[in-house]
Amino acid sequence: MPRLDTCLCLLLSISPLAVTNIVEEEKSELIDEIDCSQTTQTKEKQAPGRCHKGLISSLQMLNNYEALLTPPQSVRSVANQAAAKAIMVISGLTVGNGYYECMSSNDMPINCSGNMWHLIVEACIARNLLDTSAYVWPGYVNARPNIPRSVPSQVPGWSSLMKGSPLTPTLVNALIATPASSLAEIEKIYEIATKGSNDEKIYAASILCGASLVRGWNIQEHAILFITSLLLPPVPSDYSESESYLISYAPLLNVLLLGISSADCVQILSLHGMVPILAGMLMPLCEVFGSTAPDVSWTLPTGEELTSHAVFTNAFTLLLRLWRFDHPPVEHVMMGDATPVGSQLSPEYLLLVRNSKVSDFGKSPKDRLKMKRMSKNLNLTLELIFMDSFPKLKGWYRQHNKCIASTLSGLVQGTTVHQIVDALLNMMFSKISRSGQSSGSSSPSTSGADDVSLILNVPAWDILEATPYVLDAALTACAHGRLSPRDLATGLKHLADFLPATLATIVSYFSAEVTRGIWKPVFMNGSDWPSPAENLSIIEQQIKKIIAATGVDVPSLTTGRSSPAMLPLPLAALVSLTITYKLDKASERFLVLIGPALSSLAEGCPWPCMPIIASLWALKVKRWNDFLVFSASRTVFHHSSDAVVQLLRSCFASTLGLSPSTTYSNGGVGALLGHGFGSHFSGGMSPVSPGILYLRVHRSVRDIMFMTEEIVSLLMSSVRDIAGSREKPKNTKFGLRYGQVSLGAAMARVKLAASLGASLVWLSGGLSLVQSLIKETLPSWFISAHSADQDAGEPAGIVAMLGGYALAYFVVLCGTFAWGVDSASPASKRRPKVLGSHLEFLASAVDGKISLGCDYATWRAYVVRFVSLMVGCTQKWILDVNIDVLKRLSYGLIRWNEEELAMALLGLGSVRATTAAAELIIEIGA
């Protein structure tokens, strides 16, 4: 789970960059206008645009929400410094960054209290969205200046670097712990990383991957670009060696790879949209260092020896994490005949996205404005690259897919691969071999440790090619009793320690074997395999508490002699391997590769595989208990469509305030999404809001096509509940009448229900599910017969009318999510066919050519509101519709006395629609 630094970088780095893009897009449009016509109004057009003014107004209003602006404890001092900077500028002092590095708590202004507002404004100033005039906004400065005029004695920091101090260990540690405050400072480090001595380059790389990457919110995008650039340095002009020039950069590259491999760093890189670019930088490293034998080594400043295997492992495991390698093979077939889900999460796909970004960059005014924000010192590779450039990587990926598709075959006796297989098996199970037991190797050809070391002194790609056969032999030996489970886990750990990159093959092979279901399950009895019995009943109770609010029954986890805890053999081997790892920083980058894969695989296995694994890991790491229990709770919904429907029903009930639970009685987004999960909120595991559960469950729902029908059904059920909970009609001297306030409140809740339903459809299945809804599900629903919509004494017409309105808002929102309101997105190209089909259905039904089963009031309310929303909100959609369909629909609206709406619909059509509108006016007049 992302930690605080990742969440803050989303707020303080990503959001201002997104705002910058919006403001620059507006500026680029003005630039285009100026280029087309140079007029006397040029100066006026260069004034701040509407978006920029709106940003300033919004930021000024932030101070009205003081309760939401309290900074987390870890950044409170930084927020106070931001407030102190404003006071300093207002006081006329011009003190550089060194002032803050030297300032103690005694130097802070009296009552100076900074909050998130100050950090947000500083993030905008750093990106030239604001200037220091923001410091005089009302309420921004809340203390009197008492800042000393003299700067205290110098301490090591960024100001020392800028004044020319060399990179001593003390200064390096200070710069790693403190983020740079300006582009000039981070540029200085980048210059050292490219032009300094070998030791200075390593120091600079460590600094770039330190606080400037994780907490340097005002310069984070520059730190990321510099790091990415350093990962693939240019070829020296005088280089003439036969081996790759990248080999000589190994120590620098390894520091960078380790520096960006933490869970937070990968999340930050992803948030900045750098995954495709970074993948393109990692692939050459994998190809080169994976093709180099480990007899090439380097001595690091710490005295450690660095081999090509280590550099390859760090680059390769990071690359795997970028394309969501953790998802099990079952995802490749879960959509039936549809395009495999995994096909878009491959290295080829990342390169396609990367090449698209590179080839298009710099061609538009928006890009030219963006380039002005980038450092002039930056050296990024903009050449197109393809998988064919990496034959070893492509070969491994082909073998990876082959292992997923079918059982293993093709090992030929006496080949180099066979020799490596035997050497690996001897290395993994050497103690067992010496005691006279079989290791599982078919015909060992190695006789001693020296021979094994000699054969295994080969490039990493050769090891990875042999690994599937090693795993197959080891797993077969264990299944037939020739290898104990404990020895299997120990042997796997030896293999992973020898070349950690083999974890990728271990994960993919075991996942594929579990999915095929050809291995018998094993008893997790505590002797052969680790036992979860000590913790399983506690996990069961915590799972029940977590999903209590959804009303779903949790299958029993009770185990005993008659029903022992069991796991498929490959899954048992994988979890046994994971719990052999120590929880230290060195193991983190490997656990974050195995962990998600293990979790995804266990969730797809029969109940209660995931609770068993959660129990085993919770016994090992108690602080992970809440997260593990939550992961196990999600599995309940993976195995039951009824549970998913119940969860969806809980989403509607909690959002609309229709739930009997007092926790969700107020409704709204707060009730839908809640405030997280865990035992730290109420002294024990508490129910989790249904929205959070659904966000973590929906990707694993096997049959998503049934979701649209269920969501439509729940939407209409919610409308009946809303109508039933309205203020009752009152007797007046004019008769029975509904108050406008009551009906207006009901309409607001109907819109809320529709927006929730549209969000759930889009979230569950994206474009394909939305198009299926509009082309198939909705027409079928209107044609089918429905029971009278009457509840709690409400007239059926009111309920039916609200139902039609709800469906109209629901469909338009779904279409907006999928296609947009204009024609800018690629998905909008699919809109004419789907929308045309739906409006053809509407026109035919209005003409009486199609018999409807729904209530007439629902049908009329739907058509009128749907057309009204198109006319008022999605006018570009109307241009996609055939003019004859528009005419037929308009004539039907006129028959319903909706002349104004009919004219507006034709008026927004194509040129041919103008003629039809004129004819319609004549007919109405006649």
Which residues fall within 8 angstroms of residue 4, CB to CB, at 6 or more apart? 72, 74
Peptide bond into 608 cis (omega under 30): yes
Please state the rounded mean pLDDT for residues 180-203: 93
pLDDT tens, residue by residue, 878-890:
988 888 898 899 8
- Residue 382: other Cβ atoms inside 10 A: 10
Nearest alpha-carbon partner for 254 in 288, 222, 217: 288
In this predicted structure, which of 187-196, 356-365, 465-474 has the lowest mean pLDDT?
356-365
Alpha helices in 62-108 (DSSP H): 76-90, 97-102
Q: DSSP 3-state assignment of 566?
A: strand
Please state the rounded mean pLDDT for residues 129-142: 90
Which residues fall within 8 angstroms of residue 182, CB to CB, at 6 or more apart? 97, 126, 218, 219
Residue 741: pLDDT band (50, 70, 90) is: very low
User: Residue 863: pLDDT above 60?
Assistant: yes
**376 — phi, psi (to 5°)?**
-70, -20
pLDDT value for 17 = 92
Contact 113, 67 (CB under 8 A): no
Residue with the larger pLDDT of the pair 435 and 255: 255
**566 — phi, psi (to 5°)?**
-135, 150
Q: Which two tokens stand for residue 501?
A: 């990159």
In angstroms, what CA-CA distances link 411 with 465, 478, 677?
11, 20, 49
Alpha-carbon distance of 210 to 180, in angstroms, equals: 10
User: Residue 739: pLDDT above 50?
Assistant: no
Q: What pairing do the DSSP bridges indicate for beta strands 521-523 and 305-307?
A: unpaired
Alpha-carbon distance of 814 to 755, in angstroms, equals: 8
User: Residue 343: pLDDT above 50?
Assistant: no
Which residues fall within 8 angstroms of residue 341, CB to CB, at 6 or more apart? 327, 331, 332, 334, 335
In this predicted structure, which of 173-187, 445-459, 631-645, 688-702 has the lowest mean pLDDT?
445-459
User: For the chain, what is the total number of helices (H) and then of strands (E)?
Assistant: 44, 6
Q: How many CA atoms lie within 13 A of 594 on its CB side?
A: 25
Q: DSSP 3-state assignment of 400?
A: helix
User: Residue 421: pLDDT above 60?
Assistant: yes
Q: Which two tokens stand for residue 593?
A: 């590769």
Nearest alpha-carbon partner for 565 in 606, 531, 539: 531
User: Residue 734: pLDDT above 60?
Assistant: no
In this predicted structure, which of 58-67, 415-424, 559-568, 861-870 has the lowest mean pLDDT?
559-568
Residue with the larger pLDDT of the pair 218 and 359: 218
Please state the rounded mean pLDDT for residues 661-687: 71
Contact 136, 92 (CB under 8 A): no
Residue written as token pair 């002294």: 683
Q: Which two tokens stand for residue 909?
A: 């059509």
> Which sign, positive or negative, has the C-alpha torsion 552, 553, 559, 564?
negative
pLDDT value for 735 = 40
- Residue 562: other Cβ atoms inside 10 A: 6
* DSSP-assigned states of every residue in 593-627: HHHHHHHHHHHHSSTTHHHHHHHHHHHH-GGGHHH
Q: Tell me, what DSSP letter sits at residue 728?
A: P
Alpha-carbon distance of 776 to 426, in angstroms, equals: 60
Contact 123, 13 (CB under 8 A): yes
Contact 722, 802 (CB under 8 A): yes
Please state the rounded mean pLDDT for residues 357-365: 74
Alpha-carbon distance of 907 to 893, in angstroms, equals: 14
pLDDT value for 676 = 67
Alpha-carbon distance of 170 to 207, in angstroms, equals: 12
* DSSP-assigned states of every residue in 179-220: --SSHHHHHHHHHHHHHS-HHHHHHHHHHHTTHHHHT-TTTH
User: Residue 401: pLDDT above 90?
Assistant: no
pLDDT tens, residue by residue, 214-258:
999 999 999 999 999 999 988 888 887 888 999 999 999 999 999
Alpha-carbon distance of 396 to 465, in angstroms, equals: 7
Alpha-carbon distance of 566 to 586, in angstroms, equals: 31
DSSP element (H, E) containing 297:
strand 297-299
Residue with the larger pLDDT of the pair 877 and 698: 877
pLDDT value for 436 = 45
pLDDT value for 345 = 67
End-to-end CA distance of the chain: 69
pLDDT value for 834 = 94
Q: Tell me, what DSSP letter sits at residue 903?
A: H
Alpha-carbon distance of 352 to 647, in angstroms, equals: 37
User: Residue 33: pLDDT above 70?
Assistant: no
Q: Which two tokens stand for residue 721?
A: 């509940």
Q: Tell me, what DSSP letter sits at residue 339?
A: P
> Which sign, positive or negative, has the C-alpha torsion 206, 211, 215, 218?
negative
User: Residue 649: pLDDT above 80?
Assistant: yes
| Chain centroid offset of residue 249 CA | 32
User: Residue 642: pLDDT above 80?
Assistant: yes
Contact 599, 700 (CB under 8 A): no
pLDDT value for 42 = 47
Angle at 617 between CA 615 and CA 623, to 5 degrees: 105
pLDDT tens, residue by residue, 805-830:
999 999 999 999 999 988 878 888 99
Task: Calculate helix-pair angle for 275-290, 391-405, nearest 10 degrees.
Answer: 100
pLDDT tens, residue by residue, 72-122:
988 898 898 888 888 888 877 665 555 555 555 455 555 568 899 999 999
Nearest alpha-carbon partner for 116 in 43, 200, 222, 7: 7
